[in-house]
Structure 1
Amino acid sequence: MEILDFRNYQMIDEKTDKDLYEALSNENKDLAKKYVRVRIMGKLQRTVTVILHKELVQCLELLLKYRQKMEVPENNPYVFGIPSGMKKEITYLRACALMRKYSEECGAVHPERLRATKLRKHIATICINLNLQEEDLANFMGHHENIHKQIYRQPVMNREILNVSRLLEAAQGENSDIETSDAESNMEEELITRRLNNTPSSNPTTSRKRNTPPYGSVIRRRWSVTEKKLFQKYSEKISKNRDFLLSMKYQMQLEIMQN
C-alpha cells in the first residue's frame, strides 16, 4: 500500500455528504463510522479495495508520523516502508513472509493453514454462503476475470464499505446482523449511487474512463417475435432451476480458486 493511496481513503459521514449519510439506516450508520475504503493497485494492474477499521487508520497514521525517526527514507512511497539500514532490495514489509514466520512462531497446531491463500478461500466461501454478489467479491479480493466475471462500472462506495464490511465481520465471527430490509437497502444504494455519481469525492483521485465498450461497438436492434418467445421459454426454465444453477456456479468458482 502506497502512502498516496492511503491518504486518499474515502468514508461515509456527515462531512462528506450530510444528505447521503442521513439516508442510511442506524445499522449502516454504525458501520460507516467504523470503516473507510482505500483503493490500491493489485495484480495485473487491477484496482483492489481495502476496507480498514478506523482504529487501524489511527495506527497507520501513527506509523507514518514516526517513520522519519525510524530512518525510513523520505522517497520510500510505501506505508510499511523499511529503514534504510535493512536490505535495500526490499523496500517494504512483505505480508506473506511475515504471516508465514509468525504462524510458525505462535505455536499454532496447523501453521500451514494460516496463509493468505487459505484465508482468501475462507472469506470467499463465507461470502458465497451469505449470498454476496460475485462481482463485489471479485473486486474486493482482486481476482482476475478468469475466476470471477468482470464488470465494467465503478464499484459503489457504500456497497463496499457497508455490505462488504458487514460480511467480513460475519466471516470473522463477530456478532452482526447481515440481513436487512430489501426495500431499505435498495433505497439507500440508489440514493448513494446517485449522489456519488454527481458529487466529487472529498479526497479526489484521478481515474481513467473507457471511451468505448471493452467488447467493441454495439449495434442495437429490436428482438423478433421468435426471439422474444424463445427468451420467455428459456427464462421460465432458468427461473425454475435458479437455485440449482447458482449452487453449481458457486461450486465451479470454488474449484477454480482452489486450483
Structure 2
Amino acid sequence: MVACRRPTTAKQSDDYHHCKFCQGLYARDSLWRHVRNCPQKSVEGEPRAGRNRISLDLPKPDQVHEAVWKIACEMNQDDISLVVRNERDILNLGESLYNARKPHEKRNDYIRQKMREMARLLIAARAITPVKSTEDLVMPNNFRHVIQAVRAVAGYELESNSYKIPSLALKLGHSLAKLAGIVQCNAIISNRHAIAESAKQFATLYEKKWTESISAAALGTLQQAKWNKPYVLPFTQDVSLLHKFLATERVKCMTDLEKEPNSKSFGNLAKVTLTQVVLFNRKRQGEVSKMELRTFASRNCSKLNPDIMMCLSEFERKLAQHFDRVEIRGKRSRMVPVLLTPDMIAAMELLMKSRNECQVHAENVYFFARPSSFSHYRGSDCFRKYANQCGASNPEALTSTRLRKQVATLSTVLNLKENEMDQLATFLGHDIRVHREFYRLPESTLQLAKVSKLLIAMGKGRLSDLQGKGLDDIEINPDDEVDTGDDDSSEETAEDLPQHKGSRTETSADGTFLRPAPDSKTLDNMESTSESTSLDNVNSSNTQPRHDSQQNTALQVITSQASSNGSKGKQAGKTRSKWTGDEVKAVERHMLHFITSCRVPGKKDCDSCIQAEPVALKDRDWAAIKYYIHNRIIALKRKMNS
C-alpha cells in the first residue's frame, strides 16, 4: 500500500482510506482535511463534512441495498462502522428499516443509529462470550450470552438491579427481535431450515424471558429517574420577552437580507422565523424544522366557506381571515396544522425568493435549509440561542416541549369542554390520552394544591363542615391551629353544653366527648325556632332582635331541661336574656367569618370578641357568644340545604 504521505510511526492498513475523488491513500484521522481541498473535487462539490463524517467510496457487496451501503460508508470511521460493513445481517437490518420508513424524515440517521447499536452489541459479545457473528446472537443456545452482552453494553449494576443506559437495553431488545425475523426469512430462502427453526425458537424464548431478564429492570430504572424531578414551566413574562425580541430581530434580518442577500443574512432570518413559528404554534421543533418547501408553496390559500363563516362570531371571522394555515407532517405521520401570521408569511416568502442567491442547494427539500448543505436548521438550537439573548430570567425553560406543556397545563385552569380539549390536542399533534397523561397539570401540583386541602381538613377535625363541597370549593388555612379537646377548641365540650333529660352523648372512637345529642322533642323545638332565620340575615349587619329571641328560646329550652335534671354545666341555672341589636352587631363585627365558614369558635376567640366590645357585650360571657354562633350556623346550613 502506497500512502500519499509517509507516516512517522508504524500504521496498520485499517488506519488508511482512499479519497473518493482522487483515490489517494490518506490516514483516516486526516482524510477529512484533504477532502475539503482535494483538487479532483467537483466545482459544486458536496456539503462540508465534519472530521469523522467522511464518505468512503468502497465497492458495494452483492445483494446489499445501495442506499444502506451508502449509509454504512458515511458513518464515523471507527471499529463500529467496520463491523457494520462486514456483517451482512446488520446490513439486512438496515435495509428492512429503510424500506419501512418514508424519505425525508431523518430515516438515514435512525438507520445509522440502529446498525451501530447492533454492532456495539456484537463487539461486546465477542469480547466476553463465545458469540462470533450476528447470526449467533439469535440462536437459542446463546440466549444467556446475549443477556450478558446486553447488560455489559447498557451498564447493568447487579446490586441495585439498574442500568446506566436503560434506554439502550430496551432498544437492543427491539432490534434483536427484528433481527431474529430477518435471519429466519433468509434461512428459509436459502433452504437452511435448521437455522430458520432456531431463529423461530429464539423469538419464542425472547417473548417469554426477555421481560424478566432485561426489560423489567430497564423500565424500572427509567421510571425511578423521573421521581422527584422538578417540572419547570416557562414564565409568562419570559415568553412575552421572547416574542418581542423575535419580532424586532425579524424586521432587522429582513432588512439585511433585502439589502445584501448572502448565506449569513439568509441563515439569520431562517432561524428567527423558525423560532417564531414554533413559539407561536407551540409545535414540536422537529416538525416545523423539517417543513418542506413544496409544503409551504402548496398551502391552501382559497377563501373560507361562507356557510361556516356564518356560524362564527365577528371576532372569530376576523381571526380566520387574519391567519394562513399550512399542514405539515407530524409524529407518527399525523397531519399537524400550523398557523402563520402575515408577518411570518412575509418573512417566509422572502426566504423562498432568496434561496438561489444565498447558495441554497436546489436539491435541499427543506424550507428552513442551511446554505451549502442538504440539511436544515434545528429548532432547539435556535430556541437556545434566542432565549439567552432576549433577557429571560429562566432561559433554560424556554423550549418547545415545555411551552407545549405550559399550554396543556393552563388549559386545565380554563375548564375546557370535552370537544374543546380534543381540538386543542389535535392542534398540538397528539391524541387526548397523551394530552391528559403527559401534558396536563403535573400530578405533584394537584397533590400540593388540592388533595392537601382535604388532608388538612381531616387533620383539623373539620371534615363534616365540607359536606357537599368539591376540592376546588374548599378554602382552608394550613397555618390555623389544629383543633383539640380543650376550652379553645371549636368543638363543644362536656362543660360547654349542658345535659338534659333524654340526651345522648356522642363520642369518637377513642372515647373523646364530641357533643350532646338532644332528644327528638328538643330537636323539634330547635328546628322550629331556627328555620325562621334566613340566609340574607347571616351576612346582614342589621339582624332583627326577633330572630335572636327565637334562637335564644331554643337555648332556654335546653338550659331549663338541663337545670331540672341537675346538670353541672357552666350555664345551668343562669337567666337568659334576649339579644339586643347592639349585641348582635358587636358579635358580627368580629365573628361573622365563623358563621359564614360554618365553624364554631373556641373560648379564646370569644374572649377576644368580648375584649374588643366591652360595652356592648358587658352582659355576655364567652359561652353565650359561642352558643349564639352555633345556632346561627345551624340555621344557615338548613337554609342552604332547603
The higher-RCO structure (CA 8 Å, 6+ apart) is 1
**Higher Rg of the two aligned structures:** 2
* TM-score, length of structure 1 as denominator length: 0.49
Greater share of helix: 2
* TM-score, length of structure 2 as denominator length: 0.21
